A and B are shown apart, each in its own frame.
Chain A
Amino acid sequence: MTLTAEVTTPPAAPAPAPGSARKRRKAAETRAGYAFLTPWLLGFFLLTAGPMLASLYLAFTNYNLFAPPEFTGLENFRLLFSDPSYLKAWQVTATYVLFGTPIKLIAALAVAMLLNTRRRGKGFYRSSFYMPSLVGASVSIAIVWKAMFIDDGIVDQIQQLFGAPAGGWVGDPNRTMPMLVLLTVWQFGAPMVIFLAGLKQIPNELYEAASVDGAGPVRKFRNITLPMLSPVIFFNLLLETIHAFQIFASAFIISNGTGGPARSTLFYTLYLYQRGFVDFRMGYASAMAWVLVVVVGVITVIFFRSSKFWVHYSGEGK
């Protein structure tokens, strides 16, 4: 389909003026550009931009998939913010993002710094740590996690060894969150690999010069590693945060799709799924989706705005 670009290029007209030749060439480039971009353009308008507009409209309607949408104005948003389950979903999701993301990134950075040496076996270690990132969001691992944290499970037995009270984490509303935070921290390998690549870019001379000036490891970390690594920290922080908002499979499997016990795993995406695809309250779920987009958008803007103050790009004379 996209291959027609070359064929349709017109043959050279007789005696072209130099200016029009350039113009024709430009037009040919434009045609080729759009021809090659066709798959993405179709995908963007049909699967992203179009649906976004549709969901914006649906957010202001009552729609159950079977009767035509009924315009209700801001009713959905009013209902949302007086729905205790919705507010709970925000609380659960925000807690997960606020704890899971920083702990995961700190673990990733710590292990990356540990591995950033010329010791043997680095490749093996890197790959071993990366593996959980590949399977962590799968149903298989959610099932394993559930089996490990259930009553009388491994974790229960280990905590009893240390004198903690008996009891699994799966059925305890106060402990499901730590359990899921551990699951995301377990997947620190992906950001770690990115940190490692960033650490490799820091010139060794900087550390040597700092040593000559008598700087200790803490000063070196604060004054060299952190600023030099800040673009990578920014990238990881932004992507991991947005990623964390979208947790679904593990929460679904561990709670059998209910978000329980006591709504403690009622993540935003899980509640959206329940409202939209179990209760078929499509308008309500669309309103939920748009609140999420706005919140994620605001967070992204805050990250970018704040980056001026803490992200240093080399070549900026900083």
Chain B
Amino acid sequence: MRQQHRTRDRLKGLGFHAIVLAIVGVILYPAVWMLSSSFKPSSDIVGNVSLIPDAATFANFAKALDGIGGVSFWTFFTNSLILAIGSVVGITLSCSVSAYAFARIDFPGRNAFFALMIGTLLLPFHVVIIPQYIVFSRLELVDTFVPLLVGKFLAAEAFFVFLMVQFMRNLPRELDEAARIDGAGHVRIFTSIMLPLMKPALVTSSIFAFIWSWNDFFGPLLYLKDPDLATMPLALRLYVDQTTTSDYGAQMAMAVLALVPVLLFFLVFQRYLVEGVATQGLKG
């Protein structure tokens, strides 16, 4: 009886893994196909379902690394890196400070501002982008990184403020009360109690901030016209435009290179990413 139960359970387990692995296969196929195509000769990409290149070649990568129109690949890479690191620094600083005010300080107007902050989570960003563009172009800040970074330093991405508020609210109140009795002010409490305890929230925010900035297309498309300032997604778009003769190999190689940092982050931090989404309802 028990033996029978065990075999049935095992069969069910096999069925489960067969089904889920099949879904995994379908889901991961486009990504794996992109990777394998980047090693195939251009003529062999479009209709080729196979994931194993007949004759692997690095020519596509060599071509992608040559850059576009005299601008080196590494210029694009560095631009993306500067923006992504700037975003991480700006978001962790500004959002943690603001979140502390929402989560731990009692002052008139807090609840109203908190409601407004939640409201901005749902606001389509198109309604602010036109005046922002007008102001930045008046200030002659188009073709600089300023328009793309200023919001990050001013806690304009409500997602991260919200995430950090939620996290701080779950930290025991007794900690700051004890510190207050010992005479610590908010600056002390924030820097020496909250920040160290908030590490998981800060790490999760940093990873998302990096990846979102790295993948961002709309912002750079608006503000960065000079090819020397282009980010990886912009360069990729220029590349596709330029190679209308369909050099798919080089396009795929460039697409892979544009995703490498994201995929590395994903492999290293996937637990943080998935749990950050699970607990805070963040989107990818």
Contact = CB atoms under 8 A, between A and B. Distances in A.
Given A65-B134, A249-B218, A285-B130, A190 B16 contact: no
A82 to B, nearest CB: 21
A143 B240 contact: yes
A87 interface: no
A40 B152 CA distance: 10
B106 interface: yes
B233 A147 contact: no
Interface size class, chain B? 35 or more
Contact of B107 (A29, A58, A121): A29
A125 B20 contact: yes
A41 B120 CA distance: 13
Given A6-B187, A144-B34, A289-B126, A153 B284 contact: no
Contacts of B262: 134-135, 138
Nearest to A146: B240
- Main secondary structure, interface of A, reads helix
Contact of A127 (B23, B236, B274): B274
A54 interface: yes
Interface string A253-286: 1001000000000000100110011000010011
A197 B107 contact: no
Interface string B104-135: 01111010010011001011111111111111
Interface of B: 13, 16-17, 19-20, 23-24, 27-28, 30-31, 33-34, 37, 45-49, 93-95, 97-98, 100-102, 105-108, 110, 113, 116-117, 120, 122-135, 137, 150-151, 153-156, 161, 185-188, 190, 211, 215, 217-218, 221-222, 233, 236-237, 240-241, 248, 251-252, 255-256, 258-259, 262-263, 266, 270-271, 273-274, 277-279, 281-284
13 contacts: A6-B188, A36-B190, A37-B113, A39-B97, A40-B117, A44-B117, A47-B132, A117-B16, A125-B24, A131-B31, A141-B255, A154-B33, A292-B127
